[in-house]
Amino acid sequence: MLTSCIATDTLSPYQFIRDGGTMVSSGEMFELGFFSPANSQNRYLGIWYKKVSNRTVVWVANRDAPLNSTSGVFEISSNGILQLVYVGNNFNTTIWSSSFVSSMNVTNPVAQILDTGNLVVTEESNTIWQSFDHPGDTYLPGMKVGKDLITGIDRQWTSWKSLDDPSSGQYAIYMDTKGFPQIFQRRGSKLHTRFGPWNGVRFSGMPSLIQNPTSVNEFVINDKEIYFKVHVHSSVVSRMYLDPEGDLTRMIWVDLTQSWSLILAAITTDSCSAYGLCGPYGICNSRSFPVCSCIEGFEPKHIEEWNAADWSSGCVLRTPLGCGNGTEHGFRRFSGVKIPDTRTAWYNLSMNLKECEMKCSRNCSCTAYAGLDIRNGGSGCLLWFGDLMDVREYNETQELYIRMARSELASVTNQDSASNKKKTVVIAVVSTSICLVMACLTLAVYARIKKRKSYMKRQGKTNLRNILNYNLENFISLCVNVVSSYDGRKEDIDLPFFSLPTIAKSTSNFSVTNKLGQGGFGPVYKGILEDGREIAVKRLSKSSKQGLDEFKNEVRCIAKLQHRNLVKLIGYCIQGDETMLIYEYMANKSLDLIIFDTNGSSMLDWPQRFHIIHGIARGLLYLHQDSRLRVIHRDLKAANILLDNDMNPKISDFGLARRFKGIETEANTNKVVGTYGYISPEYAVHGLFSVKSDVFSFGVMVLEIVSGKKNRDFSHEQHRDNLLGHAWELFKEHRSLELANPQLRGMHADSEILRTIHIALLCVQHHAEDRPTMSYVVVMLDHEITLPSPKQPAFYNGVSLPQIIASSSNPTDSTVNNVTMTLLDGR
């Protein structure tokens, strides 16, 4: 006799679920039942998040066989087959079933919905069937993407046809196991996008798929199965979703906003996304026009087609290869690319890069080779024996070595040398010509001044000296600028130019009343352009050598970055002896002017402070992980956080920032720069800076925002600890709330304040490896996950950075462990 089963996590033979009944996982994370998507009237059996209010569906059983009524019944047979049955008046029809082939003699099967979102059928402790082997449009943590080589199960995602229709759509994500395995996206029956092979960290064509503290990426390849899997912290609600338009994104549920938040765009759709757009040996660059070119050493196979933007025939070697003893061949190294299609490639997981090169060089059919794992200097070996397809430029560290004729390699070297020589000649001719013109102008001015009246003779000499000096400085500067413009290192920065008269007019000729402040770069003025835009003008001080370096660095760093929590650089002015940067104007000035001011601080309640903390964290996450360049700020402090009209924080002042490429995350320097109270210990003492240096500075700033006290100037009548040490002592004694500004307490936000202090203490731990990344900081701020216990902070028990370098005669230019310290006061 069948019995109805409602709101349990298991289903046994002779039990069933009618439309309206559900199964709920033991932790109430997922629910299974009948639903109708969006505007559809059809009924489907599916699984959705129970704790997520908008019922986000993650799996559909009968996606291609909808029910048109509420007469569906879900059951499990005595031999372990799940069935969705339409119950009619005179007959029953099986709409969907989980038919499988099993050698097991099933006698007591049980279906269960797990807190992972997986629907499983088990016989005692053996899994007979699971929904994770048959994904729909959603990837859940713990799910595999790939093939079981024993059973033949091929796990691939398929998009819905539309938001109203869960039937199989146009797009599918799958792992192709021919050659060396790689991930593809298919549109219909046609290859759409290739995400490339696994390089030890991520798939080479998916640079945004990086590991963070909330997840661990796993890639397995053996004789039984080949798959990719993501493990996520159990307290983080996360999914990857392939939408009907083919976009693949990773989302996390944000409790504070009751919504899904995008944290990863795994597919970046651009002009180079299409598979094999540039043909064999072509390379695609979405930032170039046209996007296709031939790999260096190759030329278009059919030049007429190529010039007509038909690149399908691709390119061929400029110098054909023979098949001799290999001595007439060599390999040219290419980096910053997505490596070619590996479906016809040969691989060996245990070879090193040198062995890989030797194996390729001995086989004249081998066209290229590469290492497999970028974490170990290119361990493992990939060999290509045919055309190189689907190569594109990426900010990637995996290197590709392509076989070419020795003469071609030599000609490349000679071309580079000739090009450099030609460039040098051009520089010399142009700069010499300009210098001669300037010299003539200077002599003309000199001759004119000599004709002045005798009673102005003394004054005239003074004017002559000044004018000569002025023109000398300008023509030397101009010569230098010309040379630097032709030295091959000029960066392509698309930044508007503002004339000096325009900026002078906007600032009332740099009026004192328009001056906003003074920094290491120079004074900052408010201005209003003719179109009504308010601007902030950073004017390089003529006496600031450091300021000139900062100017160049700031333009290089921030001109290419765009984020709501970064101050926007809108232009520059270099004219005469003036050098200026033009920014958007921030009406509420800098954070330090508010939180450290008694009157200003009283106007800032906890929600506003938390909003500022969260915005700074988002901006740092962008700099460290999501921007085109990985940027370490190196001078993060309250004075460098600007606030707009709505109190949105904007990270500013990138004069000391450093950029990184690829997966590079840390570096050493012999010159330590930054501000007392914010510099991490490994940077201060050893000159080692990384993203964790910024995390430390962020943690200090959070404690300052919560308390309204400066770390550097903090004092307490009962101890010598700085603000970090005081926060640590209060935390150990479970009195952290006492750290908060008194006006913040008792405002129904105590738990959030305590959590924020806890996160800040994790950020200021002494050892860099103990500190979280900014991606994990954002997750901790957004979610009520269990926080790890912090360890002792840096500069604890009253030991601060000034004390570390106290033996120096000059605390702003001292040496510790052979590292030069140029520490900046509050700017």
Positions marked catalytic: 635
- Alpha-carbon Rg for the chain, nearest whole angstrom, is 33
Comparing CA positions, the residue from 825, 795, 797, 815 lying closest to residue 687 is 815
Residue 569 in contact with residue 575, Cβ under 8 Å? no
Structure tokens at 357: 């090169």
Structure tokens at 785: 């996950």
Comparing CA positions, the residue from 137, 133, 107, 108 lying closest to residue 120 is 133
- Please tell me the total number of residues recorded for the chain in this structure: 827
Amino acid at 43: R
Cα 636 from Cα 764, distance rounded (Å)? 13
Phi and psi at residue 678, in whole multiples of 5°? -120, -10
Half-sphere exposure of 196 (CA within 13 A, CB side): 30
Cα 581 from Cα 552, distance rounded (Å)? 10
Phi and psi at residue 464, in whole multiples of 5°? -60, -45
Cα 87 from Cα 106, distance rounded (Å)? 26
Amino acid at 579: T
CA separation (Å) from 358 to 299, 353, 364, 370, 400?
Answer: 27, 9, 11, 12, 15
CA separation (Å) from 695 to 176, 445, 634, 642?
Answer: 39, 56, 10, 18
| Beta bridge partners of residue 93, listed in sequence order | 86
Cα 624 from Cα 209, distance rounded (Å)? 14
Strand (E) or helix (H) holding 731: helix 723-732
Give Cα 288 to chain centroid, integer Å. Answer: 22
Comparing CA positions, the residue from 302, 276, 304 lying closest to residue 292 is 276
Residue 230 in contact with residue 140, Cβ under 8 Å? no
Apex 420 CA angle, 417 and 425, nearest 5 = 125
Cα 330 from Cα 359, distance rounded (Å)? 13
Cα 560 from Cα 335, distance rounded (Å)? 22
* Three-state secondary structure call for residue 160: strand
Strand (E) or helix (H) holding 467: helix 457-485
Strand (E) or helix (H) holding 446: helix 406-450
Q: Are strands 282-284 and 391-393 parallel, antiparallel or unpaired?
A: parallel
Cα 641 from Cα 705, distance rounded (Å)? 12
